[in-house]
Amino acid sequence: MAYESITFNGIRKDWLYIERGRSKPPFAARKRNLLTVPGYPGGYLASTDIDPLPISQPVGFRIKDDADALTKKDELAEWLLTDKPVPLKFDDEPGRIYYAVVQNTLDDFEKMAVLRRGTIQFICPDPYAYGPEKPFSATSDYFNIKNEGTAEAEPVFEFEVTAPITFLMIQNQLGEYNMVGKPIDLTKQEPVQEYERLIYNPMNSVTGFTTATRVENSYIQGVMDANGAMIATDFGVERSSEFYGPAVKTSVSEVLSDFMVDMLVTFDNGNSPGQVGKVELYLYDELENVIAKLAMQDAWAHRSMTNGIIRIGDQTVNNYMIDENNAYWNSFYGILRILRKGDYWEAYIAELDENRKHHTRKFTSFKDNEGLFTDKQLAQVGIHIARWGAADEVRTFVHHLSVSKINSLGNNGVPYIADVGDIITFDHTNNGQVYINGEPYEDSILGADYFTLKKGDNNLLVMPGSLKTSGSYRERYL
């Protein structure tokens, strides 16, 4: 006989079944906040707060004996006690997902085990039930989404850029809109490619690279190769108590004063505490003097600990903008970036998740008021991958290298915010966020109105026309 049960945090127990008597209000309680005015009868409805949704579910257990009951009690507590809301599904409510935590105490679980039944008390801070994710794809700049839920839904819009754009806007039939960037007044302004990419190397080969001659605290030897990512295929002869490995460099087509340089890397040091290694990106002038260095390094002998480094200057005169040991960066897959505009510098390290969204981020800026680091110009960039002595090597991949020239906007220039192939995301969930290629974007937001999809028809307009629009949403139910 099949019993109906629950799935909590993606897990279900074959010995637990739900009984009749679930206590769940038809919708979460509303608190009406009234504004009273002296001399005016009654009051004005100022706002409405929605309380969390409580759910009490009677359950029964299939138990062999008392010893098995105690085991099930411990298993129940381990399963149900979570630090944050997790998905909750009831077999008799197909297509509905709640996000809940459990309010029971351990004493409650023990009583359940003894009595072979009990009540699990859930609380849903988010009072809505959710349906499955519904993707959509627009065939024109004006399109419709029909929300068949009983509450407003929070969409995620994704735009693939097909031509350079200075702004992006999406608007609904109520005049609510979300917008980034700035439209152009053609009579007074002109679009400018502020970040002009001179190098974008997806590392399909090592063509264009030569052996570098200058790295720091390491011995250059071995072989670098690339086939979708740059890797060290040979570190050369083992060297005791020293970093060693291949280093290569490539020239920039222009010598740059203002620039942005980044690389996407995998630094997989989380497999063994015996892994010791580093990956470094050097910025050189025409004589291969070091202007700046970006690195991920694990120098610990018996533990995994990643040190993220972004330094301007050389070993003698320098400023470490980022120099941080961070275990969260173990098994790192992410971006290291440096930027210079005149005497202003930025440093940025961010890990990427499976959807290429940036997280565990570190950003710093520096104003070189003394002019110590602005005299040298960028002419070359170099990559070095190294291991230490006989220690286990760190699996390291350089996925791309990018060098951009920063152009002046002048008095009438409006910068492009995205180029062909870039992905802009308007995430209207959880109070909203805009991303460009997975990186949170906050500058030049003129109308950050993270509107919802209303019940029924939603007519949406996207501007400008140089976009492919898609996205998803989940219908919500009271």
Where helices occur in 288-424 by DSSP H, the ranges are: none
pLDDT given at position 445: 57
Residues β-bridged to residue 143: 460
pLDDT given at position 383: 98
> 365: number of CA atoms within 13 Å, CB side?
6
Distance CA 98, CA 124 (A): 7
pLDDT given at position 27: 79
Distance CA 298, CA 265 (A): 14
CB contact set of 131 (below 8 Å; sequence gap of 6+): 95, 96, 97, 149, 474, 475, 476, 477
pLDDT given at position 9: 96
pLDDT given at position 320: 97
Count helices and strands in the chain by DSSP H and E runs? 2, 38
pLDDT given at position 226: 96
AA letter at 165: I
Residue 237 class from Cβ within 10 Å (0-12 exposed, 13-18 middle, 19+ buried)? Answer: exposed
Alpha-carbon dihedral of residues 459, 465, 471, 473, nearest 10 degrees?
A: -20
Q: Which two tokens mark 13?
A: 């127990």
pLDDT given at position 186: 87
Length of the chain: 478
Digit-by-digit pLDDT tens for the chain (478 residues) are 567 999 999 999 988 899 999 998 887 777 888 888 887 787 788 887 888 999 999 988 888 888 888 888 888 889 999 999 999 999 999 999 999 999 987 667 777 767 788 889 999 999 999 999 999 999 999 999 999 999 999 999 999 999 999 999 999 999 999 999 999 998 899 999 999 999 999 999 999 999 999 999 999 999 999 999 999 999 999 999 999 999 999 999 999 999 999 999 999 997 778 899 999 999 999 999 999 999 999 998 888 899 999 999 999 999 999 999 888 899 999 999 999 999 999 999 999 998 899 999 999 999 999 999 988 999 999 999 999 999 999 999 999 999 999 999 999 999 999 999 999 999 999 888 999 999 998 765 566 689 999 999 999 999 998 899 999 999 999 8
Cβ atoms within 10 Å of 420's Cβ, excluding its own: 11
At 256 the three-state DSSP class reads: strand
Distance CA 269, CA 331 (A): 5
